[in-house]
Structure formats: structure tokens, C-alpha cells
Structure 1
Amino acid sequence: MVGDNEKLTSKCKVDLARMPPCQSALMPHIQRVNHRVALYKRAHEGILERPKPYDQGQGWTKNAGRVLEPVWCLKPILPVSLIDLLADGGCGEEDDEEDEEEDEEVDFDAFDESDDEF
């Protein structure tokens, strides 16, 4: 497990899906949700004054085909230093072979069932 004494490398088994979103990914999501909630809260009004969803700070953009697309992140998703680390480490076949060799080294015959006390 990655902790104080261990560094995060490509061989670490960390489930990145369990990590919370970063600030630059969370803000556009909050802006989109805020836009929708504002519409629902004012739905009972006859004349609805609202900003356009593609206005600045609403979490949406218009593409060339004039279709709304969500803003996923305000900044690059990965810092350049991490991209370089992942590019250098790589996930080649050598890593897979090493993992398979480690799995094969377990000797299950060494366990003697006669020593168990039940």
C-alpha cells in the first residue's frame, strides 16, 4: 500500500476510481448541477430568467456543431510530471511476466494439514 515510506509507481495497485475528484473536475460538475437546480426551482414562474447553459461558469460549452458538451475539467487531467512517470514506467510484457512468476512461487505443498488443531 502506498504510504509515508512508499512512492506511487506504475506497479502499485491503487484503484484510482475510489479517489475523490480534484477541484478542477469538481467545479464544472457543481456548476452544471447548480444550473439544473436553478431551473427546477424557478419552474413555477411564468417568465423564466436564466443564463444560457454555455455561458461562462455554467459547466457547459458549445462545440462547432452547436451541440452542448459538458466541461469535464478546467485544467489538464494529469500533471506533466505524472505523464512522464507513466510513460517511462510503462506496462510492458516484462511486468506481466514478473507478476506471474511471483504468483507461481507460492508452494502450497508446504502446508501440512495434519498440524491443524480443530
Structure 2
Amino acid sequence: MVGDNEKLTSKCKVDLARMPPCQSALMPHIQRVNHRVALYKRAHEGILERPKPYDQGQGWTKNADRVLEPVWCLKPILPVSLIDLLADGGCGEEDDEEDEEEDEEVDFDAFAESDDEF
């Protein structure tokens, strides 16, 4: 694990799920939660004046089918330079070799015969 005296390298095991969200992902989530809590707090009122969930700053957007979708992030998730690199398909020969290894057929009969030996 990474501590005070250790550097973070590619060999370090870090659970990324434990990292906090970035500011651009956290803000829409807070806006959605705030919208819901405001509705709950005013639920006892007879006439409820409230903004539409897809209004600016509420954390939701309406798609072409008029269905509400959450705003996941305010900024691009990946930098533009990385998106361009991935769009170019810069796969090397190493990737092709790995794909070929994965495509090899597995002889399940050999596994069944080895199980009979035990």
C-alpha cells in the first residue's frame, strides 16, 4: 500500500473506488440531492412551487426522448488529447498478439480427462 515513504507507481495496488469524486462530478450530484431534499422539505405544503428538475443547476438534463438523465460531469471526463489518441486507434502489435491469445479455442475435453485422474 502507498504510505508516506512510498511513491505511487503502476505496481501499487490502489482501490480507485475509495477516491473521492472530482469537483466537476461532485457538483451535479449535490445539485440532484439538493433538488430532492427541497421537495421533501416542502411536501407538507398544499401548493408546491419548485423548479423543474431539468432547469439549469438542478443536476438533470432532458434528452431527445424527453426523458430525464442525470448530469454526470460538468467537464469532459478525459482530456481532449487522450480522446484524440484513442480515436486514432493507436493500437500496437502487442495488443494484436494479446487478442490472438484470447481467441484461441479451449479444449474442454482435456480438462474433463484431467479431472477424472483425481
Q: Tell me the TM-score normalised to structure 1 length.
A: 0.61
Q: 1:68-94 deviations in whole A, cap 9, x for unaligned?
A: 000000011233466689999999997
Moved more, 20-29 or 5-14: 5-14
Shift of 1:18: 1.0
Change (3 A) 1:59 1:81: same
Q: Give structure 2 stretches of 5+ with no counterpart.
A: none
Change (3 A) 1:44 1:108: closer
Change (3 A) 1:36 1:28: same
Shift of 1:99: 18
Moved more, 43-52 or 84-93: 84-93
- Give the RMSD, CA atoms, in angstroms: 7.1
Distance in structure 2 (CA, Å) of the matches to 1:65 and 1:102:
39
Change (3 A) 1:40 1:115: closer
Shift of 1:15: 1.8
Distance in structure 2 (CA, Å) of the matches to 1:5 and 1:14:
16
Structure with bigger RCO (C-alpha 8 Å, 6+ apart): 1
Distance in structure 2 (CA, Å) of the matches to 1:89 and 1:4:
38
Q: Percent identity?
A: 98
Secondary structure in structure 2 of the residue aligned to 1:2: coil
Moved more, 83-92 or 46-55: 83-92
Q: Tell me the TM-score normalised to structure 2 length.
A: 0.61
Q: Give structure 1 stretches of 5+ with no counterpart.
A: none
Q: How many residues align?
A: 118
Instruction: Indicate conservation of the 8 Å contact 1:10/1:91, yes or no.
Output: no
Shift of 1:64: 0.5
Q: 1:10-44 deviations in whole A, cap 9, x for unaligned?
A: 55432211100000000000000000000000000
Instruction: Indicate conservation of the 8 Å contact 1:32/1:58, yes or no.
Output: yes
